[in-house]
Amino acid sequence: MVKDKKVGVISLGCDKNRVDTEKMLYLISEKHSIVSDILTAEIVIINTCAFLESSRKEAIDEILSVAELKREGNLEKLVITGCLPQKFVGELIDALPEVDAFTGVSDYAEICSVIDRIYSGERVVCVKEPKDECLKSRVRTTDHYAYLKIADGCDNHCTYCLIPSIRGKFRSAPKAELIDEVKSLGKVKELILVAQDLTKYGSDLEGVDLVDLINEISALDGVEKIRLLYCYPEGINERLIECVKNNPKVVKYLDIPLQHADDKVLKRMNRKGTGESYLNLINRLKQEIPSIALRSTFITGFPGESEQAFNNLVEFIKSAQLFNAGFFAYSREEGTPAYKLDGQIDNKTKTARLKKLYSTQKKVVKKILSGKVGEVVEVLAEGFDQDSFVYYGRAYFNAPEVDGKIYFFSADEIEYGKLYSVRIDSVTDYDLYGERL
């Protein structure tokens, strides 16, 4: 049995992957030493994403870069975990001889055993079918906020998406286990609930739904705020709206992945809504919760997206007035129904449409942010910008890593993780600038 190796871990992809990485880190830390500097590591584990071609390229580039350390540095063993081996291990075994072990999305509990096996001279392939995880303890890698993955897998079967074939069917984590996991995290300024689709939580359990879970988490003293990411539009019902509106711990913010707004494109995507129903939902949320900040994501260049369909999406972006939005060019993924659809669009057109969407949303955001000038907002301080010599942080309308920041001057030293009142003085494309009162 191998003990006390120096292990470095690289986590790629989404925040759900981060949670998997944190649970894997806990297991590793029981037998080995975790190091933050990859150059000093004897073992490197890369937890990968494979959702899009671009994410797979990022993973392969990272693997090849780290593999160089086996020839030039201290690195003895390289292990690849997560989505990339889960979906493509058959192609990776021969293509990446530098890798000593491959494990899948439900095999993190095997990590210490895998390390023992590769040091006995075995090249390990441990990729099983996706299943409910058994890991609850974690090593937090975030300071003032933490993610809670409340479910895995997906049953929505959007025609462009590989997730069901990588992560399997939708599986809710039992509520009692999630509550215990939250308690184990200690004090959390902001707990961010994540899943492929939060609104489906409990659909495979008896007598529990997302609101039940939120209410029980809200009763815990250690959690100050709760943020909800990835709420599919058709699952946002009256009960959830009332919860966001009236629960003081729930951040007035929703991430609603809409993906498009043209009815024909939505149908080809196997999305359940229409442009009109999406706009009605957005307007209703703004009416019920006037301060709410809404975020969404959209795909352009989907097969069959005509010029008119794209223009419909642009007009939707103008009408919806979303606080934040992300845009992606359609990635043709083999193994998805959309791969075989007619009307595939060339990359030049995709790129041009992507630029148009970003340009349109930038004007929307500039208008919304300009309305904040003169206001005083509560900012969670998170760091200091060495280039501009000001502090930065987030308000309730900023989710970490994906949204803008608030930069602010303070004559006094700031304590990270605390809330400060900041008067907003100016705006840039996506960020706000101000002064601590």
CATH number of the domain within which 397 lies: 2.40.50.140
**Same domain for 204 and 89:** no
**Same domain for 297 and 163:** yes
CATH number of the domain within which 258 lies: 3.80.30.20
**Same domain for 68 and 154:** no
301 pLDDT higher than 80: yes
Q: Is residue 133 part of a domain?
A: no
Tokens for 28?
A: 């590793």
Greatest pairwise CA separation for the chain in angstroms: 65
**Same domain for 207 and 101:** no
Helices 275-288 and 238-246 sit at what angle, rounded to 10 degrees?
A: 30
**Same domain for 232 and 199:** yes
pLDDT at position 51, please?
86
Vertex 94 angle, CA 91 and 95, to 5°:
70
Percent of the chain with pLDDT over 90: 93
Tokens for 181?
A: 């996991």
Q: Is residue 200 part of a domain?
A: yes
Span 110-126, average pLDDT: 94
Are 116 and 1 in contact by the 8 Å Cβ rule? The answer is yes
User: Number of structural domains, the chain?
Assistant: 3
Q: Is residue 152 part of a domain?
A: yes
- Distance, CA of 190 to CA of 42 (rounded, Å): 34
Last residue of a domain, one of 67, 95, 126: 126
**Same domain for 90 and 34:** yes
Q: Is residue 308 part of a domain?
A: yes
Residue 304 three-state SS: coil
**Same domain for 360 and 381:** no
Residue 19 three-state SS: helix
pTM metric for this prediction: 0.94
Question: Chain centroid to CA 57: how far?
Answer: 18
pLDDT at position 432, please?
97
Q: Is residue 174 part of a domain?
A: yes
The runs of H, that is alpha helices, within 73-188 are 83-95, 111-119, 163-167, 175-184
* Helix (H), strand (E) at residue 212: helix 210-218
Are 208 and 219 in contact by the 8 Å Cβ rule? The answer is no
| pLDDT tier, 276 (very low <50, low <70, confident <90, very high otherwise) | very high
Last residue of a domain, one of 66, 94, 126: 126
The per-type count for the chain, helices as H runs and strands as E runs, is 12, 19
**Same domain for 152 and 119:** no
| pLDDT tier, 251 (very low <50, low <70, confident <90, very high otherwise) | very high
345 pLDDT higher than 80: yes
CATH number of the domain within which 77 lies: 3.40.50.12160
Q: Is residue 1 part of a domain?
A: no
**Same domain for 362 and 381:** no
**Same domain for 265 and 235:** yes
The residue range of the domain holding 194 is 145-366
Span 12-20, average pLDDT: 92
Q: Is residue 324 part of a domain?
A: yes
Q: Is residue 139 part of a domain?
A: no
Tokens for 256?
A: 């609603």
302 pLDDT higher than 90: yes
**Same domain for 185 and 158:** yes
Compute the residue count for the chain.
437
Are 187 and 140 in contact by the 8 Å Cβ rule? The answer is no
pLDDT at position 212, please?
97
Are 260 and 231 in contact by the 8 Å Cβ rule? The answer is no
- Distance, CA of 303 to CA of 344 (rounded, Å): 4
**Same domain for 274 and 404:** no
Last residue of a domain, one of 93, 126, 159: 126
The per-residue pLDDT for range 29-83, each reduced to its tens digit, is 999 999 999 999 999 999 999 988 999 999 999 999 999 998 887 899 999 999 9
